[in-house]
A and B are shown apart, each in its own frame.
Chain A
Amino acid sequence: MTSSFPGPAGADGHVGKDLLAGYAAGTVGPVVVWSVETHVTGCAQCRSAMSEHVDGERLARNRSVLLARAALPEGGPVRRLLCRCGVPDHLLSLLAATPSLRRSWLLSVLGVLTVVAGEAAAVAHGWIGNGGHASPARYLGPHAGPAGYLHPEALVPFLVVAPLLVLAGVAAAFVPMFDPASRLAVAAPFHGFTLLLVRSVSALAAALVPVVAAAFVVPWPGWLPVALLLPSLALCAFALATATVLGPRAAAIAAGALWALPALLLAEADVPLVIVQRDAQFSCAAVLCVCAVLLFLRRDRFDWGWMR
């Protein structure tokens, strides 16, 4: 079908050469663009004439850019939500390389938490024995709470594992052995400390949410979820700060030992809850402050990389 062109057409009712050239170059106004497009859609002769004015190279380049843009990762609903909340799109793209934010990692964390919290709940409800330990009143005194709360020794696996899960998530975000392309990050101008913080804070948040949620599920007085926050933060800060001195892997191991050893020793002494009670909270607060300062002062170490 061929329609007569309503605009500044050539003598034969088709689009003139100058107009076609202007359209192809993008120099004509929107009204003329619509007119040309309406005509060209139904006119094989003008479509053919148009091809002479089109820069094939530019067209191919634009097509490649469009295809590449379509191939760039969009992310899921969480990413879209964060984008709407104002988190820059490129920062969210950086997080895609963080292993502890991947679904498989998060499912593993949930699995471990289910086991240790489930064990505590099972003891509390009498589904499994407590190994012949004494009554809760011995440890808790006025905190023993109503009937149905578990014996503290049943809580030991949860107390030991929960902050370590948070630490493991953060360690996986900054230890190079978990980042196959870490050399590229080191050689790139993007600020190394910023990258470290973006990844670590995201991993911290992603691990803390299920840990705190599990602490609510465990049948224990309500302060436990809050009591786990400070130790978790302190351990991660300790790992990051000491990484500037010991190297990342040794720092992560040292931080893990810093929590696991006292937790196990206190459990052995039949006072497992001391690790999250008042004095321990003060210690964790002190560690957190000192490590935060050390981390800030030595942040340049993350800029050079871990290759030395």
Chain B
Amino acid sequence: MTLNVCSAAVRADGLSRRYGSTLALDEVDLTLERGITGLLGPNGAGKTTLLSILATVSEPDAGRVSAFGLDPRDGAERVEIRRRLGYLPQELGYYRHFTVAGFLDYVAILKEITDRRRRAEEVARVLAAVGLERRARTRIRALSGGLRQRLGIAQALLGQPDLLILDEPTAGLDPEQRLRFRELLSGLPGDPVIVLSTHQADDIAAICPKVVVLLQGRVRFAGTPAELAATATARVWAGDQRNAGAHLSWRGGDNRWRHIGDQPPPGAEPVTPTVEDGYLLLSQAASEQ
């Protein structure tokens, strides 16, 4: 399943990856164009494996990847991809004794920004972007989880990457920080290719023009958030009572029950589905296969 073949900046064809007996990726085809693409899926769906392959950190067992026409299997082209890459791994470790500025300085050097003055400019730029200017001298061990996540996002922005791969960037961020993160991504210059994985369907709906749903190592949906929501049309209802026959049924903040299922519960009326509804139905269908 592809998003847009014509303007694809990043392309994956038939990617498979196995860990022992577990098939993490099963012939994944994907094309990403400039702009933000959200990768949605439950734990163990293969999101992190897919992103690490796109980030040239690990190799697929089968299939191939290209980014900006470059093939990571070739050493020189792999380095060229990395020069244009910003990567936030899911579980980024930190040197706890480093200061915030020191850590960013270290990553800037890894990104081949060797001139001290330019490094300072880049560090200042990304610190301002994530709102950590006043923490430049703070040791990482003294940062909260949310601040560390912002530091992780900051290091990914060093060098103004053309391809930004963010593995669960909003994990650990409070609501205000999540909004600021959305603002930050929306305002990045140069229209980079951004792919972010998340469990938060509202993040996808808010900032991603495109969404890919990965379930059990396979791409189950690729399209716009509106199209994902539309897959649940006429399958979401609101009522005053719980419906035991629904796939999912929960009471919302308005004290009414929201049902997702194939049959309308008695006395319930259809409601406009959300991205989350579409995702839940896809997930339900995949688990029944």
Contact = CB atoms under 8 A, between A and B. Distances in A.
Contact of B109 (A66, A183, A190, A304): A190
Contacts of B99: 71, 73
A181 B57 contact: no
B107 A67 contact: no
A188 B165 CA distance: 13
Interface string B106-131: 11011110101101110111011000
Nearest to A73: B102
The interface residues of chain A, by DSSP majority, are classed as helix
Interface stretch (A87-95, A143-151, A268-276): A87-95
B59 A71 contact: no
Contact of B136 (A71, A88, A93, A179): A71
Nearest to A185: B110
Nearest to A92: B109
B273 to A, nearest CB: 37
Nearest to A186: B57
Nearest to A67: B136
B59 A65 contact: no
A186 B85 CA distance: 12
A112 interface: no
B105 A304 contact: no
Contact of B110 (A68, A73, A184, A308): A184
A305 B72 CA distance: 13
B200 interface: no
B111 A189 contact: yes
A107 B43 CA distance: 42
Contact of A93 (B97, B105, B117): B105
Contact of B55 (A68, A96, A182, A187): A187
A184 B90 CA distance: 11
Nearest to A102: B97
B3 interface: no
Interface residues on A, range: 35 or more
B239 to A, nearest CB: 47
A69 B127 contact: no
B120 A72 contact: yes
Given A181-B93, A189-B82, A68 B109 contact: no
Contact of A187 (B87, B101, B133): B87
A80 interface: no
A260 B136 CA distance: 45
B220 interface: no
B263 interface: no
A30 interface: no
B109 A94 contact: yes
Given A184-B92, A188-B107, A72 B75 contact: no
Contacts of B105: 72-73, 93
Contact of A65 (B100, B121, B137, B155): B121
Contacts of A43: none
A303 B98 CA distance: 25
Interface of B: 52, 55-59, 75, 78-80, 82-83, 85, 87, 89, 92-95, 97-103, 105-107, 109-112, 114, 116-117, 119-121, 123-125, 127-128, 133, 136-137, 155
Interface of A: 61, 64-69, 71-73, 88-90, 93-94, 96-97, 102, 179-191, 195, 300, 303-305, 307-308
5 contacts: A69-B124, A181-B95, A184-B92, A186-B56, A307-B57
Given A73-B105, A96-B98, A180-B93, 7 more contacts: A68-B120, A69-B116, A69-B117, A94-B109, A181-B95, A186-B56, A189-B82
